[in-house]
Amino acid sequence: MIRAAKGGPFGWAVDRYIGWKVRSTFRGLWVRGELPSDGVGRLVYLNHSNWWDGFVLHQLCQVAGWDGYCLMDEENLRRYPFHTKMGAFSIRKQDAMSSLSSLRYAKELLRKPHAAVCVFPEGEHRPFGVHPLQLERGVELLARAAKAECVPIAIRYAFFEHERPDVLLEVGAPHEAGPLARFQSGLESVVRRVSEATGLEGFTRKVAGARGVAERWDRARGLGP
């Protein structure tokens, strides 16, 4: 198993690079719903539809004040080891002993103050908004073992009236560990809500991104903020 290796000069550089990459690509990162901030460890589970999800998750943990970690397939983590500096740690799903080690490590992390262990229970990229979601049992097993508070969050990448896309995050109500059906309904609920958004009403911008050509032109003419 590959453990997370946050911190140090390289970790600092990775943090800065990811922040720059997200801000330069998207118009902003917007959140609707309350991000828990009481200092206890929690299990955060999200849909997984895009290559950008890991970078967005890194930014979300920073704005929420969470000490973020993320479960990642071991083959991919060996291929892109810099993710350990973002808090990624590995799992080999087809190896029972390796999976057990990863779950034990995640349980240890959840004892840390402000920790957020993040998982994508679909296990792979799937198109946004496809129902029903197909979740793997690891999220249920980890939640039961750690007795952790669980928070569903949906990620959507949306173009509205602007040149650049916005990242929308819908935060669901925290809940206790339970059967896999509880996680399924929790994640499907937030995915459905965020998919119905036709604009940014009700969302709060947590990370400001880059302006498009039209926005820069309007600002130069004194027509925009």
Burial state string for 1-40 with b = 16 or more CB within 10 A and e = fewer than 16: bbebbbeeeebeebbeebeeebbeebbbbbbbbebbeeee
Task: Write down the pLDDT at residue 57.
Answer: 96
Q: How much is the mean pLDDT over the chain?
A: 91
Give the CATH number for residue 41.
Answer: 3.40.1130.10
Given a cut of 90, whether residue 215 has pLDDT beyond it is no
Residue 72 domain flag: yes
Above 70 in pLDDT, residue 212?
no
Does 81 fall in a domain? yes
Q: Specify the number of domains making up the chain.
A: 1
Give the mean model confidence (pLDDT) for residues 103-115: 93
Tens digit of each residue's pLDDT (9 = 90 or more) over 44-78: 999 999 999 999 999 999 999 999 999 999 999 99
Is pLDDT at 180 greater than 70 in this prediction?
A: yes
Q: What percent of the chain has pLDDT over 70?
A: 94
20 pLDDT more than 90 = yes
**Residue 225 falls within a domain, yes or no?**
no
The pTM for the full model equals 0.92
Compute the distance between CA of residue 45 and CA of residue 169 in angstroms, rounded to an integer.
12
Enclosing domain of residue 156: 8-220
Q: How far is CA 191 from CA 31, 169, 218, 219, in A?
A: 13, 9, 33, 34
Q: Residue type at 23?
A: R
Give the C-alpha distances (Å, rounded to integers) separating 15 from 46, 70, 89, 169: 21, 15, 17, 20
